Amino acid sequence: MTISTDRQQFRETVALVAAKAKEKLPQSINGRLESAVKLVLGHDVMPQADGSILVGSSSDAMKTYLLQGIECECRDWAQAPEHWCKHRIAAGIHKRVQALLPQAPESGPEVHPVCTSALPEAPASVNVRLTIAGRECQLTLRGADEWAVLARLEEVLQRYPQPQAQPLSPQQHNAMAQHRAVAGWCKVHNVEMKLNQGKDGRTWYSHFDEAAGRWCKGK
C-alpha cells in the first residue's frame, strides 16, 4: 500500500501530539493514550455542530460515546485518573492535530450533515457476512488504512462468532450413509442450512457459499 504525503504527515502529527500529551497526562492512565491514538487514526472522532463530540468505541464498531465538555458518557470516565478516559484523550488529540493541520483531509469535516451524494471511496474497506439476531447481514467496514479495518473486523467477528452447526441425529447419519437427502443439511458442503419461508408460504433450506459467493440449496 502506498501512503500519500498528506497521510504520512497526518500520522506523524498525531504521533507528535500524542508524545506531548503523554508528558502532561497522569502516568496512571494505563494504555488509554495508545487506545486514543488508534481512535484518532481510525477517524473515530467526530465533532458535532453543537460543540459536542462523538467518539467511536474501540471494542464495538457499532457504538459511539458522546463527549460534552470534559464529560464522557462511557463507564470508564468516572474511574479514569482525573477523568481522562480514552475518548476524552482522543478528542483532545484530534483537536490539536486539526489546529496544526487545518487543511488536512484526514482530519475530516467539523460537522457531519446528511448527504445524499455518493461518498468518496475509503482508502481501505472490507465486506463481511454475519448472522445477527437470526438474520443474514452484510456489513461494510471502512477505514483510513488496512490495519484500522482489520482491527475493526476482528472486533466485529469476536462479537458475532460463526454459529456452530448442530450435530446430526442418528437418523440423519443413517440417511447420509445411504446417500439420501437430509432435511436442513447440505450434502455438497457438509454444513447445516437455514430454513427459509417465502411470502407465498413456500419453504426451503439454503446456506451461503462463501467460496462461490452465492446461496446454495444443497444440490
Can you give the residue ranges of every domain in the chain? Answer: 5-107, 124-159, 170-216
First-to-last C-alpha distance (Å) of the chain: 41
Q: Which residue has the higher pLDDT, 206 or 124?
A: 206
| DSSP classification of residue 157 | H
Residue 34 has pLDDT above 90, yes or no: yes
pLDDT tens digit sequence for 169-201 = 665 666 556 556 667 778 777 777 788 777 777
pLDDT tens digit sequence for 2-23 = 445 788 888 889 999 999 999 9
Q: How confident is the model at residue 152 (pLDDT cuts 50, 70, 90)?
A: confident
Handedness of CA 48, 19, 142, 109 (dihedral sign): positive
CA distances for 89 relative to 9, 44, 92, 153, angstroms: 20, 12, 5, 24
Alpha helices of the chain — where are they, by DSSP H?
5-24, 32-41, 86-100, 146-159, 170-177
Q: pLDDT exceeding 90 applies to what percent of the chain?
A: 29
Q: How confident is the model at residue 143 (pLDDT cuts 50, 70, 90)?
A: confident
Entry pTM: 0.47
d(C-alpha 205, C-alpha 217), whole Å: 6
pLDDT tens digit sequence for 84-118 = 999 999 999 999 999 898 654 444 444 444 444 44
